[in-house]
Amino acid sequence: MCLIQRLKRLPKALAKTKWLFVLGMLAGISVHAAPLQFQSTASQTALVELYTSEGCSSCPPAESWLSHLKDKPGLWSEFVPVAFHVDYWDNLGWRDKWASKQYSDRQRDYAGVWASENIYTPEFVLNGKEWHNWFGIKGAPGLSDTKAGILKVTSEDTNHWQVHYIPAAGGTTGYELNAAFLLSGLGSDVKAGENTGRHLEHDFVVLTLIKRPLALQGDGFQGAFLMSAEQKTPPGRLGLAVWVSLNNRLEPLQAVGGWIEPSK
């Protein structure tokens, strides 16, 4: 079983993640030419973060729970799920090809905010707070009563993305956007480590994560980013998750997302 370890004892990254994603032109993904638009309501959409690893035998049930969200009607409109594969279990005999030190560091940063000495897998974070009772919920997190404002993301070509955020409270406080490509429908045959001999299935796997500032403009805050795959992605269903937070803060204020459907 995966035991909680103290932050200071966690090993450093042993290798770079196999899949590197950078700014540039979209490669290997054929998508609709029609413009894409994802828009939230004024109520806060839940951001569900899972910190997981193929090297942890406790993680498959949590990943299975996350996967069941793809069949729920509130997907993208009421909740946005993302799965961050961490790299600190890679020394147990199996290297998780989806893992990244960047995602492990994000989890450590959360632990710092909570004044916690420990990080572990599987760990769920709901709207920036550690979430323990996910296993007792058969449905999915819904919209909160918090009025967070409207977040809209658009793209003409799935390479260049524009973000418009209108906070519910207005003001000129600094905001930043976080954007992640996600891939669902992945499978992996584990040949070593705690999950030896198991076939693992993954959904909402974070492929790349970027952060950009938003600037006050007109009735809200505007931003833009370029994000695409450096190389051909493996088979699966591609999605995009975007959330807004205060500058240098982890807690999401509003989130939105959607599938990026291939052309026929």
Q: Could you read off the pLDDT of 2-15 as tens digits, one per residue?
A: 544 433 344 444 33
Measured in whole angstroms, the distance separating CA 132 from the mean position of its chain's CA atoms is 18
192-229 pLDDT, tens digit each: 999 999 999 999 999 999 999 999 998 899 999 998 74
Among 108, 97, 105, smallest CA distance to 20 is for 97
Question: In sequence order, which ranges of the chain are alpha helices (DSSP H)?
Answer: 59-67, 101-113
The whole-number pLDDT of residue 172 equals: 72
72-128 pLDDT, tens digit each: 999 999 999 999 999 999 999 999 999 999 999 999 999 999 999 899 999 999 999
Other CB atoms within 10 Å distance of the CB of residue 165 = 24
Mean pLDDT of the chain: 86
Domain residue ranges in the chain: 19-259
What's this model's pTM, rounded to 2 decimal places? 0.86
Whether 143 shows a pLDDT value over 60: the answer reads yes
The whole-number pLDDT of residue 233 equals: 66
The Cα 231–Cα 208 span in angstroms is 12
The Cα 204–Cα 207 span in angstroms is 9
